[in-house]
Structure 1
Amino acid sequence: MSFGDPNNPYGQQQPQSNPYGQQAPQGVPQQGYGYPQQQQYPGYPQQAAPMPGVPPLAGMGRRLGARLIDGVLLFVVYAVFLAPKFTTLIDDVQACDSTSSTYDTCVNDALSDFQSTMLPVAATFMVLMLAYEILLIAFVGATLGKLAVGIRVLKAETGAKPGIGGAFLRWVIPTVGAFACGIGQLVVYLSPFWDKSGRKQGWHDKVASTVVVHVKG
């Protein structure tokens, strides 16, 4: 006849070892206790942590620097488009005879011709700016300005590139702000300063579910 374990003469059940960590105290659910916790990332809430390997968030200095570089590049392109039109306007005005009684009419005609050419130029520039912002952000994750300062735009939850949909949403919010208010676009670009999520997301980032990260430099 066996009387059980001689080291446990009272037949009490021995606690089972927990190979994953400390055993949960009495009254605490066993599930998940002692298992490795989800890795924390500085600046991110636990419930919305980025995927492993996602670079750290970019500082606002770099973001504003990238925007400044992009603005200068786009201004240069716009100036190149406008330069021939201004040259034509100057030539037309100089061709008017300042001693003639029709001088004012001649100048007004030159200005009217210049204004009529502005609409297609502005429309062409808008298409180029749209392609520049959306296509580069969608498939590269960065404009030339962002590449210059070493930052990228990624999907907040996956670390993937934003794609066409995300890039379009990210572009349209500041654009609407520019048309709605003279400083609306600037306010959108400054909005990461008062983001309380810890992700430094601007209003355009929140709509597109993106974050801006620092990858080098």
Structure 2
Amino acid sequence: MRIVIAEDSALLREGLVQILHKFGHEVAAAVDNAPSLLAAVRDHSPDLAVVDVRLPPGFKDEGVQAAVALRQEHPDLAVLLLSQYLEADYAAELLETGSAGAGYLLKDRVGDVLDFLGSVQRVADGGTVIDPEIVRRLLSRRRGHSSARALTPRETEVLALMAEGRSNAAIATELKVSHAAVAKHIGNIFEKLGLHSTGAEHRRVLAVLAYLKR
């Protein structure tokens, strides 16, 4: 897999390069700012861009805006955003730009190398990965709402795994339950949250994020 990295921290940038190289991926470019990211993607046509949310020169949302611009220019480009902060809006903004793989992870996740590599592969394969901590934090804010309170502990677990982009089969394996049980839990979640179920993975995750942000 050919990858372009945009990360302003030299230490983390080099760490990402080493991890990805070690596990057989090609890092075509590793840059530290948004303009260089745009140029690198145009020059190298990567399969995946790993992008820090906040990049020079403003250290606000330059990485997100660059990622959105790249997805408009290259609809098949998979993008994995990394951040120190929990910002569900950034995740939603990226997911709304197209159907290619997309993800939003906290930088702490990079420390679990195998988990991080699994997320990289899932996004590159066209899947969706949203850090489960985002779902947990947002859900905790919604606890006063009757529909959020109605979720059982198991349904909350399933909801977090859905946001990670896990398939029904993967959720069943993780929780050691049957596929039928997972389907039932997901049906209950959508009913309790007042959401319409859909087979489209991005839209399923977007529906969850939209509800939790309300």
TM-score bracket for this pair, using the shorter chain length: under 0.3
Structure ID, larger Rg: 1
RCO higher in 1 or 2 (8 Å CA, sep ≥ 6)? 1
Question: Whose strand fraction is larger, Structure 1's or Structure 2's?
Answer: 2
**With structure 1 as the length reference, what TM-score do the two structures score?**
0.24
